[in-house]
Structure 1
Amino acid sequence: MRVAALQMVSSPDVAHNLARAEALLRQAAAAGAQLAALPEYFCLMGLKDEDKLAVAETPGDGPIQRKLSALARELGLWLIGGTLPLRCAEAGRVRNSCLSFGPDGALVARYDKLHLFCYDNGRERYDEARVLQAGEAPVRAELGGWHTGFSVCYDLRFPELYRQMSHSPGLPPLELISVPAAFTYGTGQAHWELLLRARAVENQAYVIAPAQGGLHSNGRRTWGHSMVVDPWGEVLACHAEGEGLALATLSRERLSQLRQQLPALQHRRPGLTP
């Protein structure tokens, strides 16, 4: 399956961001992608955290959701829609939600970010819990015949999340891991590729990681380096900075071959934590 990780430098203007996302999705489809993934906060990189509250949509209805559904249907894509803010029951908070759509435009899966980023190095300070409500459970679904596990940005630092999804009772191991992100420049430079390759190797799965990559209107600089990684940890495609695509082909034959040569997934000891 041909896949595309889309990199953006999103702004505080939702309409502008939707137009840029559409242009990139059309470019991906023209390049033969069957599955495309947008980055975290593709629709809004606000000037302040509270800006998410003003554009938050009701689950199942809203212009951002309708746009994603329509583009997936028009372009015939499996679409991992980055993240967008969805309203929740708690006043003053929203969920950071990843919605995935099928080529018919139907919603296939919703994943709400479980781990909320908190960081303070004396110069940069982030605390997503100020306006975000954490999700409640891992989510996996089948996209284009590939068993896919969903995660968002900071989730990448928690390997037990992927182990739990990959060892779901009655289901096969994950074949594809999705990680839309907006890594800070400093943490991305230090850990982004390292963590993506580690998750790919330990789960013997492909990883698609679309990211924000550039200098934003709010002064934040994101690391970018959107990439696709194979189950051996090889980076198949990478787009370093600015808007663009990382395009690669997932091979079921290679996945099966690597799992047969090194059957690590069969050697997990029962009784150990995920």
Structure 2
Amino acid sequence: MTKIAVVQTTTGIDPLANAAALVAAIEEAGAGGATMVFTPEMSGVLDRDQARAAAVLAKEGDDRVLVAVREAAARVGVWVHLGSLALRRPDGRLANRSFVIDSIGNIRARYDKMHLFDVDLPNGESWRESATYAAGERPVVVGSPLGPLGLSICYDMRFPDLYRALTDAGAQVLSVPASFTRPTGAAHWHILLRARAIEAGVHLVAAAQTGVHEDGRATYGHSLVVDPWGEILLDMGEAPGIGYAEVEPEKLRAVRGRVPALQHRRVVNAPIVIA
């Protein structure tokens, strides 16, 4: 079994303050015996005021949150899945990019969010990620202390074809860092994440933002770790903090033996009969 730590945060608008909080969490998680630490989507800055955010967002090589987390991972000797950062691309648009960082501070993988959230909600909230962000183009699986880890971010969870691609490529653990709105979180968060774990027969780790943020938005929280049978190993509720769970490869093998759905998958590319 491998012990992991999940960091649930209420990220604000100051990247230096957010970096300090992440470093403290990584240090605490390492002291708590975690081998790998997972943080939420937008761990560096969470600010829907685009003009204000523009003053602090940086390119990957200049991002101080990324530098601080890499240094902390190396100092503490733990792996970190930095859920995501908003980063400037060379073309002037932004990327919502996650990183897997090893225990000596090297970046092992990057993943840019493929599905962008554009919606008008009944409560009056409106989101247009595609107005600012460029969508990623490639799924990513990376080796980790937990086994092959498939990367995704938040809204990606609604698109099972992505998770089929990740598990077809050998993923045994899925990560879904998120900044989920409260109305959709209450309706769909637990259901969708448990479904993704069950249908693929994998462990799933979803580190989430929580609470009321400095920019006025409210996020759902409830960071989860789900096992391959769909059982919830960790639900962090709404309070910020650090939670721990054990990822057990033997559970994956046992569940896939009982329900060998991955072996029974068929590629459906024949014309559909509409009767």
Does TM, scored on the shorter chain, surpass 0.5? yes
Correspondence for 1:121: 121
Correspondence for 2:226: 229
Correspondence for 1:248: 245
Correspondence for 2:37: 36
Give the Cα separation in 2 of the matches to 1:6 and 1:81: 10
Correspondence for 1:141: 142
- The CA deviation string for residues 91-112 of structure 1, in whole angstroms up to 9 with x for no partner, is 3x21010011000110000000
Give the Cα separation in 2 of the matches to 1:40 and 1:257: 31
Correspondence for 1:220: 217
CA contact (8 A) 2:139 2:151 kept: yes
| Percent identity for Structure 1 against Structure 2 | 38
Correspondence for 2:107: 107
**Aligned residue pairs, count:** 268
Query: What is the DSSP-based 3-state SS (H/G/I as helix, E as strand, rest coil) of the residue aligned with 1:182?
Result: coil
Gaps of at least 5 residues in structure 1 are none
Q: 1:68: how far off?
A: 1.4
Give the Cα separation in 1 of the matches to 2:155 and 2:51: 19
Higher mean alpha-carbon deviation, 188-197 vs 137-146, is at: 137-146
Distance 1:50 1:139, change over 3 A: farther
Q: 1:192 aligns with which of 183, 189, 194?
A: 189
CA contact (8 A) 2:45 2:86 kept: no
- The CA deviation string for residues 178-216 of structure 1, in whole angstroms up to 9 with x for no partner, is 111000011111111111100000110000100001011
Correspondence for 1:11: 12
Distance 1:16 1:255, change over 3 A: same
Give the Cα separation in 2 of the matches to 1:271 and 1:186: 34
CA contact (8 A) 2:7 2:25 kept: yes
- The CA deviation string for residues 75-123 of structure 1, in whole angstroms up to 9 with x for no partner, is 11110011112221323x2101001100011000000001111121241
Q: Compute the RMSD of aligned alpha carbons.
A: 1.5
Give the Cα separation in 1 of the matches to 2:52 and 2:135: 18
Gaps of at least 5 residues in structure 2 are 271-275
Give the Cα separation in 2 of the matches to 1:174 and 1:139: 9
AA aligned to 2:180 is F
Correspondence for 2:133: 132
Q: 1:145: how far off?
A: 5.0
Give the Cα separation in 2 of the matches to 1:110 and 1:65: 12
Correspondence for 1:25: 26
AA aligned to 1:165 is L
Query: What is the DSSP-based 3-state SS (H/G/I as helix, E as strand, rest coil) of the residue aligned with 1:143?
Result: coil
AA aligned to 1:183 is F
Correspondence for 1:69: 70
Query: What is the DSSP-based 3-state SS (H/G/I as helix, E as strand, rest coil) of the residue aligned with 1:2?
Result: strand
Q: Which runs of structure 1 show a deviation greater than 2 angstroms over 4 or more consecutive aligned residues?
A: 49-62, 270-273
Higher mean alpha-carbon deviation, 21-30 vs 65-74, is at: 21-30
Query: What is the DSSP-based 3-state SS (H/G/I as helix, E as strand, rest coil) of the residue aligned with 1:214?
Result: strand
Give the Cα separation in 1 of the matches to 2:178 and 2:267: 32
CA contact (8 A) 2:86 2:96 kept: yes
Give the Cα separation in 2 of the matches to 1:179 and 1:53: 26
Query: What is the DSSP-based 3-state SS (H/G/I as helix, E as strand, rest coil) of the residue aligned with 2:5?
Result: strand
AA aligned to 1:7 is Q
CA contact (8 A) 2:19 2:64 kept: no
Higher mean alpha-carbon deviation, 25-34 vs 41-50, is at: 41-50
CA contact (8 A) 1:47 1:217 kept: no
1:148-227 aligned at under 5 Å gives the runs: 148-168=149-169, 173-227=170-224
Correspondence for 2:97: 97
Q: 1:50: how far off?
A: 4.5
- The CA deviation string for residues 210-264 of structure 1, in whole angstroms up to 9 with x for no partner, is 0001011121110000010000000001111131122110111111111112211
CA contact (8 A) 1:46 1:52 kept: yes
1:253-272 aligned at under 5 Å gives the runs: 253-271=250-268
Give the Cα separation in 2 of the matches to 1:50 and 1:140: 34
